[in-house]
Amino acid sequence: MRKWLNWLERKLYRFNIPPIMKYIVFAMGGVFVLDLMLSMTTAYTTRLNLTAYLVLDISSVLQGQVWRLITWLFVPQQDNLLWMLLSLYFYYMIGTTLENRWGARRFLIYYVIGALANIAGAFIAHAITGYGYGVNTYLYYSLFLAFAALYPDMQFMLFFFLPVKAKWLAALDLVYFLLAIITGGTSLRMAALASLVNVALFFGEDIYQLGRRAYFQWQRNKQWRQ
């Protein structure tokens, strides 16, 4: 799988691909500001919810609203200004760090695979239930899973005062994935599963080798005790 990813990355060398995370963050922030402005009500206007026209709703896509296949990526995850600023800073930090580590092309591959998997998952949910939608929450969680895999011991200040290593926050991320898969509706389950596709493609071999070494170590310890 790693050879295939390297081949795909080499195919992109002919294109001048800039780092994209700053544009993603800027677009998400712009949608938040526009939605905030348009949602203000006066005596002469009615409330307009911009994000309702941007989310990945498969029924609307099949009716011709194909822009939703792109715009759902920029729908804000927060409706509170402070938390929105914090989340944008957080995603900018981990995204640009991954781009510096991998390069813009490899990061783009990781992001696009996750996005396409989510779109496919939403279509599958629609085929099963007649209603399919997509959320970008787990896609951006998958960025942090990649970050934690590469920088497991980097510390973050949880609640601004509690230092926690990235690997433990990634474990908490996986709990959210598991809860969505177990208790969520069909669309939410598909979004969570789809957002692990890029993680599996990029880190599956490393996870397998790590598990294999841990198993052999357990076997050696068991034989030694016997």
Report whether 144 contacts 94 (CB < 8 A): yes
For the stretch 56-86, pLDDT in tens is 999 999 999 999 999 999 998 877 888 899 9
DSSP H or E stretch at residue 179: helix 166-183
Report whether 74 contacts 54 (CB < 8 A): yes
DSSP state of 57: E
DSSP state of 165: E
Range 47-50, long-range pairs (CB < 8 A, 24+ positions) = none
For the stretch 134-145, pLDDT in tens is 999 999 999 999
Higher pLDDT, 139 or 225: 139
Query: What are the extents of the domains in the chain?
Result: 2-225
The 3 state secondary structure assigned to 92-103 is HHHHHHHHHHHC
> Among all chains, which residue has been given the structure tokens 């490393």?
206
What is the rounded distance in angstroms from the CA atom of residue 106 to the CA atom of residue 20? 11
Split at pLDDT 50, 70, 90, the class of 43 is very low
Closest CA to 36 of 74, 83, 79: 79
Q: pTM for the full model?
A: 0.88
> Among all chains, which residue has been given the structure tokens 């307009």?
48
For the stretch 138-175, pLDDT in tens is 999 999 999 999 999 998 887 777 888 999 999 999 99
The contacts of residue 51 (CB under 8 Å, 6+ apart) are 31, 35, 75, 76
Q: What is the pLDDT of residue 226?
A: 67
- Is domain 2-225 annotated with CATH 1.20.1540.10? yes
| Rg of the chain over all Cα atoms, to the nearest angstrom | 20
